[in-house]
């Protein structure tokens, strides 16, 4: 838990510094001050509201014991096993099999599953997946995951703004240098996400297997999701690739630059570790 708070603090501080540098490149000293204020305000907003933004982005609808008893009761039972507060439960109307967790702490957490994953997996396999997501909640991965997704999107937007509105005044650097920085900024955000996601997925796999008590169930689910997810596009994830690292399986098609930034460890290695646990 303490380690994740350090990572989150470093990420937020790094974002403030990056925004300040970009603001300076775009608008000189005044641009730097505006960017620093914006970065500070964005960090505060991301801490409190980024989870709601991501859920709205995916048009997730909250369910309860009466509207979706199958999923809700499953999450309730697993949360009790994990000794966690009951999270909010959401369903996303997407054919691609996938799931994610979000929120700022276990007391303000949510788990979401697509209709595709609910239809494709057996009860035992889906149980393994939801246990994996609850492990993210228990490990307190969800704050840095959601904030990094929000901030990476903001970096991309700022970079695009700079490319269109960069100036050629004498007191500012060469515009070619500015353009290069604008291109590198969103890539830096994606690299941050990649580094965060790769390590935590193994931990959530292990934690999920312990919560469900069935490592092979999660292994079977990962194998099935990997076989089908790539052939079923998820429009929202393609439009907002910065959110891909939140999913249990990379939802992106892998075309173009997206394929260079895999946010998850290899499925084969994840499955092998789970089989070893069993």
190 close to 152: Cβ distance less than 8 angstroms: yes
Q: Could you give the residue numbers annotated as active site?
A: 133
How does strand 99-105 pair with strand 108-114? Answer: antiparallel
d(CA 271, CA 202) in angstroms, rounded, equals: 10
- Per the listing, tokens 């909010």 go with 88
Q: Tokens for 231?
A: 């052939």
φ, ψ of residue 19 in degrees (nearest 5): -65, -40
Torsion of CA 213, 216, 219, 220, to 10 degrees: -120
Residue 36: closest CA among 9, 53, 13: 13
Residue 101 CA, chain-centre distance (Å), reads 8
The end-to-end CA distance of the chain, in Å, is 26
d(CA 93, CA 82) in angstroms, rounded, equals: 27
How does strand 108-114 pair with strand 88-92? Answer: parallel
Residue 142: closest CA among 229, 250, 25, 248: 248
Maximal CA-CA distance, the chain: 65
- List strands edge to edge, sheet with 108-114: 61-63, 88-92, 108-114, 99-105
Give the three-class secondary structure for 148: helix
């Amino acid at each position: 838990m303490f380690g994740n708070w350090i990572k989150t603090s470093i990420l937020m501080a790094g974002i403030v510094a990056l925004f300040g540098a970009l603001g300076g490149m775009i608008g000189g000293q005044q641009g730097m001050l505006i960017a620093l204020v914006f970065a500070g305000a964005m960090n505060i907003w991301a801490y409190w509201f980024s989870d709601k933004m991501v859920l709205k982005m995916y048009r997730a609808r909250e369910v309860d014991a009466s509207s979706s008893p199958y999923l809700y009761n499953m999450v309730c039972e697993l949360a009790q096993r994990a000794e966690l507060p009951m999270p909010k439960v959401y369903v996303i109307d997407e054919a691609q099999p996938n799931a994610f967790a979000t929120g700022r702490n276990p007391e303000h957490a949510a788990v979401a599953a697509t209709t595709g994953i609910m239809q494709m997996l057996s009860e035992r396999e889906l149980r393994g997946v939801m246990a994996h997501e609850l492990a993210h909640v228990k490990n307190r991965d969800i704050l840095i995951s959601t904030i990094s997704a929000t901030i990476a999107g903001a970096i991309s937007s700022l970079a695009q703004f700079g490319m269109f509105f960069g100036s050629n005044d004498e007191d500012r650097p060469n515009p070619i240098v500015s353009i290069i920085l604008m291109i590198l900024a969103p890539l830096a955000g994606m690299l941050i996400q990649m580094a965060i996601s790769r390590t935590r997925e193994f931990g959530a796999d292990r934690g999920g297997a312990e919560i469900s008590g069935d490592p092979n169930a999660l292994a079977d689910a990962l194998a099935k999701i990997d076989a089908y997810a790539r052939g079923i596009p998820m429009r929202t994830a393609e439009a907002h690739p910065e959110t891909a690292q939140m999913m249990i399986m990379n939802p992106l098609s892998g075309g173009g630059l997206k394929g260079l930034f895999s946010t998850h460890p290899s499925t084969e290695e994840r499955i092998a570790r789970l089989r070893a646990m069993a």
